[in-house]
Amino acid sequence: MTVTALAADTFDPASVVTHDPVVRVEAICKHYGSTEALRNIDLQFERGKLTTLLGPSGCGKTTLLKIIAGLVPATSGQIVVNGRAVTGPGPERAFVFQDFALMPWATVLRNVGFGLELKGMAAAERNRIARRYIEEVGLQGFEDKYPHELSGGMRQRVGIARAFAVNADVLLLDEPFSAVDEQNRRKFQEDLLRLVEMERKTFIFVTHSIEEAVYVSDRIVLLSPRPGRVSNIIDPRIDRTANPDDIRRDPGYLDVVEEIWQGLRHYAE
C-alpha cells in the first residue's frame, strides 16, 4: 500500500483543476454581515471521487457545502454543476444533514422515498427504489419503523439512503457520522467507501476527524481558519482493497494523519 501526500503549504494551485469536473467552485466569497466566512475559494470535484473539507472549527466547511447545495447564497463567485451555474437547490445535488432531518411521522420506507415522492414518482416505483437503498445501507426489515424506534446510527442510514434514492450526481455530506459511536462510525466509513466505489457519484464530505478524512478520501482540502481559504490539498492514495484494520495501522496512512495534524494543531483550542 502506498500513501502519498503533497508537502504541507506547498500545494500547487493548479492541482485544484481536474479532468472531468462535475462541480466547479469559482472564486467563492461569503460574508455573514460583517463576518467574513470564506475568501476566494476555487475548487473542482470529479465524478467517482470523494473529497473531504477539513479545517478548524468555524473555517466555513458547512458554509461551503451549503453554498454548493444552493441552500446558502454566496456573496460573490459562482458554483457550476454539470456545466450550469447554481441558483438554488437542484435534483442533481443531495444533502445529508448532520441531524439527519427525517420526518418523525413517516416510516423508514416513506422517509427514504420522500425525495422521489416530491418528484411525483408513483408509489410502486419509489417504494421499489427506496427498498433497494434501505437494503444497501443494511436496514432491511426496518421499512415500517418510525425514526423514534431507531438508534442514531440507523437514523443516519435512513438519511444516507434517502440521499442515494434520488439518484443525485452530487452527494453533499455534512459530518454525517458525528452523532454515532466509534464502532458504528467505522462501519459507516466502510459502507461509504463501498457506495463511492459502486455509485460513481461526486462526494463532498465534511468531517472534523483527520483519521476519518484520510481513511475515506481521494482528496482532502484543508481550509485555513476564518476567513476560510484553501491552505493545502492532500491526495492520500490508499489501497482500498487492503483490510480496513491494516490500512489504519499502515505507516503511510499514519504519516498523512500526522502531517495533517501538524498543520492543524496550532489552531486547536
Can you give the binding site for ligand ATP, defined by CB under 6 A? 32, 35, 37, 57-63, 208, 226
CB of 68 or CB of 109, closer to ligand ATP: 68
Residue 23 Cβ, how far from ligand ATP at the closest point, in Å? 17
Q: How far apart are CA 79 and CA 100, in angstroms?
A: 25
Our CB check for ligand ATP shows the closer of 9 and 269 to be 269
> Taking the complex as a whole, how short is the minimal distance between the CB of residue 247 and ligand ATP, in angstroms?
25
- C-alpha to C-alpha distances, 88 to 15, 65, 78, 265, nearest whole angstrom: 28, 13, 11, 36
* Of 30 and 219, CB closest to ligand ATP: 30
Whether the CA torsion 99, 103, 105, 108 is positive or negative: it is negative
Q: Which is nearer to ligand ATP, 69 or 137 (CB)?
A: 69
Q: State in angstroms the smallest separation of the CB of 242 from ligand ATP.
A: 30
Radius of gyration of the chain (CA): 18
Judge contact between 77 and 25, C-beta under 8 A.
yes
Min dist CB 225 to ligand ATP, Å, is: 9
Shortest distance in whole angstroms from residue 258 CB to ligand ATP? 21
CA-closest candidate to residue 4, choices 232, 218, 241, 236: 236
DSSP 227: S
Least Å distance, CB 35 to ligand ATP, is 5
Q: Cell digits for 93?
A: 445535488
Nearest by Cα to 257 from 3, 1, 2, 51: 3
Nearer to ligand ATP, 62 or 156 (CB): 62
Q: Classify 53 as helix, strand or coil.
A: strand
**Residues paired with 234 in a beta bridge:** 220
Length of the chain: 269
Q: C-alpha cell of 225?
A: 481558519
Task: Please measure the distance between the N-terminal and C-terminal CA atoms of the chain and give it in whole angstroms.
Answer: 34
DSSP code of 56? S
Q: Residue 98 CB, nearest distance to ligand ATP (Å)? A: 8
The reply to whether omega before 104 is within 30° of 0 (cis) is no
Amino acid at 135: E
In the complex, what is the shortest distance from the CB of residue 222 to ligand ATP, in angstroms, rounded to a whole number? 12
